[in-house]
């Protein structure tokens, strides 16, 4: 039974949950967000601003949508490393990478966000989309991303938020906490994964609070911007040069 408490079993439970929903993950993302999820990832990669010849790290890459979006910007002249601790998610990601013939650009590796298997100052940019909220130790993962970034490297985080407009907020609350878990359960055949989603968002720091955590993890000038009425928020920080 998955609880939101950061118990020693939490990472294993999260890993098991994503393994169990992996085959339906992309389909449910597109359906439950009415296709907006790909627009949010594109906006996140715009903010990361990949340049030719650079190396990027996608933390909690899942089925590699972000890694593929980065690769699409300069396919032959940049490198992307995607890391995730779920074998089934990575397997699906690898399949998509092969279908899009991006094997020369993207490498996937199994690993934990809280203990990244890379040397310091390895990447020009690091990004995590819808990953942070699932980590057992958010600040440790942020500090790890800071460690592996080169000086002046960019960090981009994409996470769910809650629309600040009260009317929209109520409509969204109804959708996110009532409809989405039922539709998610129906299609994923997983009892808790899609009720865990809104519960984990409700418990996770957003906007000013998360920006502060970025600053406290070593990132300079951390900022945020809302997308789609504040359903999601993009965060940006820079490693001091
Ligand atoms: C909601 S999915 C996001 C996947 C992808 N970034 C996307 O945009 O669709 C969260 C992913 O985080 C991974 N994950 C959660 N906690 C992790 C951790 N501590 N270390 C590595 N991966 C983790 C899960 O296996 C899952 O693939």
What's the pLDDT band for 75 if we cut at 50, 70, 90?
A: confident
* 31 Cα to the center of ligand 1, angstroms: 19
Which own/partner pairs from 192-197 qualify as long-range (CB within 8 Å, at least 24 positions apart)? 192/1, 192/2, 192/17, 193/17, 193/18, 193/20, 193/21, 194/28, 194/32, 196/2, 196/4, 196/17, 197/160
Q: Domain of residue 197: give its range.
A: 10-239
Report d(CA 207, CA 223) in Å as an integer. Answer: 9
Residue 5 maps to a domain: no
Residue 183 maps to a domain: yes
Our count of domains for the chain comes to: 1
Report d(CA 157, CA 222) in Å as an integer. Answer: 11
Residue 123 maps to a domain: yes
| Other residues' Cβ atoms within 10 Å of the Cβ of residue 233 | 21
Ligand 1 pocket by C-beta < 6 Å: which residues? 11, 14-15, 18, 60-62, 65-66, 84-86, 89, 112-114, 129-131, 134-136
Ligand 1, pocket-test mutation among 25, 44, 131, most atoms within 8 A of CB: 131
Residue 92 maps to a domain: yes
Residue 209 maps to a domain: yes
Nearest CA to ligand 1 atom 15: 134
CATH number, domain of 55, equals 3.40.50.150
Residue 1 maps to a domain: no
- What is the Cβ-side half-sphere exposure of residue 49, based on CA atoms within 13 angstroms? 8
* 17 Cα to the center of ligand 1, angstroms: 11
The whole-number pLDDT of residue 7 equals 86
- Could you report the per-residue pLDDT of 193-231, keeping only the tens digit for each? 999 999 999 999 999 999 999 999 999 999 999 999 999
Residue 118 maps to a domain: yes
Closest CA to 194 of 5, 17, 23: 17
**Rounded mean pLDDT of 108-129?**
98
Give me the residue label for tokens 């100052």.
Answer: 121
Report d(CA 63, CA 145) in Å as an integer. Answer: 20
**Rounded mean pLDDT of 36-57?**
98
Report d(CA 222, CA 156) in Å as an integer. Answer: 10
Residue 135 maps to a domain: yes
Determine if the pTM surpasses 0.75. Answer: yes
Q: For 133, which DSSP code?
A: G
């Amino acid at each position: 039974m998955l609880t939101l408490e950061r118990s020693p079993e939490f990472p294993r439970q999260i890993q098991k949950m994503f393994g169990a929903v992996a085959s339906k993950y992309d389909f449910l993302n597109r359906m439950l967000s009415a296709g907006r999820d790909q627009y949010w990832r594109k906006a996140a990669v715009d903010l990361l601003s990949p340049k030719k010849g650079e190396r990027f790290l996608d933390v909690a890459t899942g089925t590699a949508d972000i890694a593929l979006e980065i690769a699409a910007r300069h396919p032959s002249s940049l490198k992307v490393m995607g890391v995730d601790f779920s074998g089934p998610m990575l397997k699906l990601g690898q399949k998509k990478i092969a279908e899009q013939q991006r094997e020369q650009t993207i490498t996937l590796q199994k690993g934990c966000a809280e203990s990244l298997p890379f040397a310091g100052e390895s990447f020009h940019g690091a990004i995590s989309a819808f990953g942070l909220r699932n980590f057992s130790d958010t600040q440790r993962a942020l500090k790890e991303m800071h460690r592996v970034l080169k000086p002046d490297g960019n960090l981009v985080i994409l996470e769910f938020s809650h629309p600040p407009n009260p009317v929209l907020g109520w409509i969204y609350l109804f959708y996110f906490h009532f409809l989405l878990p039922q539709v998610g359960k129906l299609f994923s055949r997983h009892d808790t994964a899609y009720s865990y989603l809104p519960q984990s968002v409700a418990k996770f720091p957003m906007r000013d609070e998360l920006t502060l955590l970025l600053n406290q993890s070593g990132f300079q000038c951390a900022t945020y911007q809302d997308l789609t009425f504040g359903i999601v928020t993009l965060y940006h920080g820079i490693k001091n040069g």
